[in-house]
Amino acid sequence: MTSFFNHYLIPLYLLFIYFTSTTTTTSAALAIVSPRPKSLLLTVSKDTTTSQYTTKILQRTPPVFVPLTLDLGTQYLWLNCGRRYVSSTYKPVPCGSPLCALANAKICRSCPSGPKPGCNNNTCRAIISNPITNTSTKKGSELATDVIQLNSSNGATTGDLVTIPNFLFVCAPTSLLGGLAKGVSGVAGFGRTKVSFPTQASSAFRLAQTFALCLPPFSENGFAFLGEGPYNITPGGTGLNVDLRSMLTYTPLITNPVRTSEYFIGVQGIKVGGEDVPINKSLFTIDSKGYGGTTISLLQPYTSMETSIYNAVSAAFDRQILNTSYPTKRVAPVAPFKYCYDTLPSSRVGPSVSNIDLVLQGKNAVWTIAPLNSLVRTYVGYCIAFVDGGKNPRSSIVVGGYQIEDNLLQFDRAKNRIGISSSLVYDRIRCSFFNFTTTV
Ligand SMILES: *[C@@H]1O[C@H](CO)[C@@H](O)[C@H](O)[C@H]1NC(C)=O
Ligand SMILES: *[C@@H]1O[C@H](CO)[C@@H](O)[C@H](O)[C@H]1NC(C)=O
Ligand SMILES: *[C@@H]1O[C@H](CO)[C@@H](O)[C@H](O)[C@H]1NC(C)=O
Ligand SMILES: *[C@@H]1O[C@H](CO)[C@@H](O)[C@H](O)[C@H]1NC(C)=O
Ligand SMILES: *[C@@H]1O[C@H](CO)[C@@H](O)[C@H](O)[C@H]1NC(C)=O
Ligand SMILES: *[C@@H]1O[C@H](CO)[C@@H](O)[C@H](O)[C@H]1NC(C)=O
């Protein structure tokens, strides 16, 4: 067990966030964990059984790989501290420490069966919940820090492993893992909080509070970049190197007054094949109870839309799909989808039908959902890959994983905006094309 005194000395970058967010006069010295990289790089893979997107980090002393499910709504990193948690650098956070306040960990408890990771006396505890099952730890789970290691990157390949000595996380019981992909031992929370995974990792190296996700459609490796970039990739069949940032269009990042750790965007209209779909516009705004609007969730496999939006968009798309000389026929639906087709005209990159445009706040900002992301192959043929979100959902639109795959999304908290590339595939780019070769 390490002394509590030590604990106060080390995570200075976290205290820096704390001080700068609670006072305007403190200029705490920043601890730079050397060497300072350009950006940090994580691999992201799809678990095809659950449709969750997973990553892995190195944690503890001696280091072990910890696989994690990514979630944009979760506030922090939480992972299982069951019997197999062995680390000489594990440090519980003592009650009353500024880190407790930073992480909103309000419960202080002793733990008679300790001391061991997850169970120490006089440590602060946070109530955490599993975002799939909604189960939560009612008595709270221990807040702690430990060493993590991540790959750095120059934007084009994998760089050195870099170390963050005191990375804050919550120590969850094994019972909280239900519903997570097989082999995963926790959730990497990418939420809009001061203690989320990207906030902490970027702060440790004074990188911009920006991260980019490129999700792969299969169990191959896509990537997440923490920091401003560049994000370089080589399109198939070319020797070129493209900085994916050049393909982004930006829309303001919107805050939901109730669900502040989630990312919302301002959809203002929806077009199918360039045609405006009639939609009750009040569904696009967020009310004072946090209902309405458009959010993004990596835990929802397909985009859901409030019933009237779903019906209007599906009907317009269906009409256009059937209104061609191609012999397409509607066939019996395959749940959870309602509109399915036996066959569709095809192009080099999948079905050749209309695009669906989410018209966004911001000059010329449009998220084009191309056929590769709007139609899914099933055993009957193709189905429209949206689901009915019901009559009074919390969010009118929840953009889900299938619609994001092989698109680059940049969550730019520093500039309060989200960058969207739309499908990269039509430019011969896939998220799996990133060159993970290590060059130091
Ligand atoms: C922790 O607290 C419990 C109850 O307050 C006490 O019985 C136990 O001795 C303490 N353990 C340690 C290691 O201090
Ligand atoms: C968990 O809660 C969310 C939001 O309240 C809800 O959409 C979801 O259906 C719930 N999941 C379960 C398994 O109860
Ligand atoms: C539009 O939606 C809002 C919120 O759901 C509802 O109160 C209103 O009656 C709807 N307007 C029309 C014309 O359907
Ligand atoms: C069907 O397509 C034709 C030619 O593209 C177009 O002129 C017509 O308006 C379409 N009809 C409907 C109902 O969309
Ligand atoms: C990946 O990067 C390495 C190091 O720069 C380079 O030698 C290799 O050719 C690249 N691979 C591809 C497929 O571009
Ligand atoms: C770092 O990158 C190498 C090479 O791509 C990879 O084998 C390793 O798993 C990565 N480590 C982490 C912690 O992501």
Residue minimizing CA distance to atom 13 of ligand 5: 435
The whole-chain average pLDDT of the chain stands at 91
Ligand 5 centroid to Cα of residue 435, in Å, is 6
d(CA 266, CA 285): 8
58 lines ligand 6 (CB under 6 A): yes
Do 276 and 346 reside in the same domain of the chain? Answer: yes
Residue minimizing CA distance to atom 11 of ligand 4: 323
Question: Per-residue pLDDT averaged across 374-378, rounded?
Answer: 97
d(CA 52, CA 45): 8
Ligand 2 centroid to Cα of residue 134, in Å, is 6
Do 28 and 59 reside in the same domain of the chain? Answer: yes
Residue 10 pLDDT greater than 80, yes or no: no
> Which residue in 119, 113, 62, 111 sits closest to 89, CA to CA?
62
Do 175 and 203 reside in the same domain of the chain? Answer: yes
Which pLDDT band holds residue 196 (cuts at 50, 70, 90)? Answer: very high
Do 284 and 383 reside in the same domain of the chain? Answer: yes
C-alpha angle 273/278/281, rounded to 5°?
Answer: 120
Ligand 1 centroid to Cα of residue 110, in Å, is 7
Residue minimizing CA distance to atom 2 of ligand 5: 437
359 lines ligand 3 (CB under 6 A): no
Do 397 and 264 reside in the same domain of the chain? Answer: yes
Do 170 and 242 reside in the same domain of the chain? Answer: no
What is the per-residue pLDDT across 135-168, written as a single tens digit (0 to 9) for each? 998 889 999 999 999 999 999 999 999 999 999 9
Residue minimizing CA distance to atom 1 of ligand 3: 280
Which of 230, 250, 276 terminates a domain? The answer is 230
Residue 1 pLDDT greater than 50, yes or no: no
Which of 165, 195, 230 terminates a domain? The answer is 230
Is residue 439, in this structure, part of any structural domain at all? no
Ligand 3 centroid to Cα of residue 220, in Å, is 43
Residue minimizing CA distance to atom 5 of ligand 6: 436
Which pLDDT band holds residue 354 (cuts at 50, 70, 90)? Answer: very high
Residue 370 pLDDT greater than 80, yes or no: yes
Ligand 6 centroid to Cα of residue 77, in Å, is 19
Do 202 and 306 reside in the same domain of the chain? Answer: no
Preceding peptide of 115 cis, ω within 30°: yes
Number of domains in the chain: 2
436 lines ligand 6 (CB under 6 A): yes
Ligand 2 centroid to Cα of residue 131, in Å, is 8
Do 224 and 271 reside in the same domain of the chain? Answer: no
Ligand 2 centroid to Cα of residue 99, in Å, is 29
Ligand nearest the Cα atom of residue 66: 6
Do 292 and 207 reside in the same domain of the chain? Answer: no
Angstrom CA distances, 269 to 85, 205, 250, 279, 359, stand at 49, 39, 16, 7, 5
Residues with CB under 6 A from ligand 2: 133-134
Residue 7 pLDDT greater than 60, yes or no: no
- What is the structure's pLDDT at 34? 55
d(CA 353, CA 379): 19
What is the per-residue pLDDT across 243-273, written as a single tens digit (0 to 9) for each? 999 999 999 999 999 999 999 999 999 999 9
Question: What sign does the CA torsion over 24, 28, 33, 34 have?
Answer: positive
Between residues 21 and 101, the one the model is more confident about: 101
Ligand 4 centroid to Cα of residue 269, in Å, is 21
- What is the structure's pLDDT at 9? 36
Ligand 1 centroid to Cα of residue 1, in Å, is 14
Which pLDDT band holds residue 14 (cuts at 50, 70, 90)? Answer: low
Residue 3 pLDDT greater than 60, yes or no: no
Residue minimizing CA distance to atom 10 of ligand 3: 280
Residue minimizing CA distance to atom 6 of ligand 1: 112
> Which residue in 118, 352, 155, 372 sits closest to 243, CA to CA?
155
Is residue 132, in this structure, part of any structural domain at all? yes
174 lines ligand 6 (CB under 6 A): no
Residue minimizing CA distance to atom 13 of ligand 2: 133
Residue minimizing CA distance to atom 14 of ligand 5: 435
Q: What percent of the chain has pLDDT over 90?
A: 86
Q: Please provide residue 340's backbone torsions phi and psi, each rounded to the nearest 5 degrees.
A: -130, 155
Which of 230, 257, 292 terminates a domain? The answer is 230
Task: Confirm if 362 and 251 have CB atoms less than 8 A apart.
Answer: yes
Residues with CB under 6 A from ligand 5: 157, 234, 435, 437, 439
Ligand nearest the Cα atom of residue 306: 3
Q: DSSP labels for 209-272? A: SEEEEE--SSSS-EEEEESS---EE--TT----EEGGGG-EEEEEE--SS-TTS-EE-EEEEEE
Residue 132 pLDDT greater than 50, yes or no: yes
- What is the structure's pLDDT at 36? 84
Do 131 and 221 reside in the same domain of the chain? Answer: yes
Q: Residue 282, SS3? A: helix
Question: Per-residue pLDDT averaged across 298-318, rounded?
Answer: 98
Ligand 5 centroid to Cα of residue 437, in Å, is 6
- What is the structure's pLDDT at 35? 67
Ligand 1 atom showing the smallest separation from residue 110 Cα? 2
Which pLDDT band holds residue 240 (cuts at 50, 70, 90)? Answer: confident
CATH of the domain at 120: 2.40.70.10
Ligand 1 centroid to Cα of residue 127, in Å, is 22
Do 289 and 357 reside in the same domain of the chain? Answer: yes
What is the per-residue pLDDT across 171-180, written as a single tens digit (0 to 9) for each? 999 999 999 9
Is residue 438, in this structure, part of any structural domain at all? no
Is residue 366, in this structure, part of any structural domain at all? yes
Ligand 5 atom showing the smallest separation from residue 435 Cα? 1
Do 219 and 246 reside in the same domain of the chain? Answer: no
Q: Which residue segment(s) compose the domain that 350 sits in?
A: 233-433
Ligand 4 atom showing the smallest separation from residue 323 Cα? 1
Residue 282 has a CB neighbour count (10 Å cut-off) of 9
